[in-house]
Amino acid sequence: MLELQGRTAVITGAASGIGREIARTFGAAGMQLMLADVEAEPLAETRSELEAAGHAVDSFVLDVRERDQVRELESLTRNRFGNVHLLCNNAGVGAGGPIAVDDDLALWHWAIDINLWGVIHGCKAFLPAMVEHGEPCHVVNTASMAGLGPSPLMAPYTISKYGVVALSETLSLEMQMTGASVGVSVLCPAFVRTGIAESRRNLPDDLAATAGEEHGGEQVLRTLVANGIAPSEVADAVHKAVLEDTFWILTHDEELPRVAARAQSILDNTKPSFQNFL
């Protein structure tokens, strides 16, 4: 997509962190913005900020786990702004837990439903019309470096992000196969200074009691995120990828040797090594 001015962007997880910075970046590029998030008050604050900056913006409180709500978001966006040109399936949560423990399945379902099914729901709801109207479009699915390599004690998060990478690769192939005017990117950052380590703040009341205790992976994540890069750096990378139709959005070059080592391990048929992970 080379022309962003006057086009429409939909961003989930837009109330804070990477999503908010993506909204700021594409708003500054002249796009109309539909912002969605499960946190009503931060979403309203972000919308007010962008309106004050002179951007055309609307918002919708959304739980991406709910397919009907995502469909409603799509309908509201078309009614408000017309055709959608940029879809950022960005809503996500951090969740940890060892696999050999059986007291936290509610947390697993919650994380996978948001991180993976939320992206699936977004694609299913928005892509048919994006393909049909035929104007240049782009989809950005937020995964993680955790989607390109294993992360001990963060299994539900890692599994969901592997799924987003696979979904995005498949979607890119399908768009090319059908000749659709839809580019695809998958965003795979490492640690970014966001509130993802405090994701349990958004656990629904009916799940909080059965989600299990916070595990070591979540505690480590808190420290690593605090020392991460700024969300604005990620948003700049997303902006560049949309303009240049780049598939992989990799914001942490220092993590690439780990990705290469995993690929080599597959080719060499060697098992994952904890020593190599350190």
Q: Given the residues 60, 81, 157, 162, select the one marked as catalytic.
A: 157
Cβ–Cβ < 8 Å for 185, 238: yes
Residue whose entry in the numeric block shows the structure tokens 């139709």: 245
162 is a catalytic site residue = no
Residues annotated catalytic, as ranges: 157
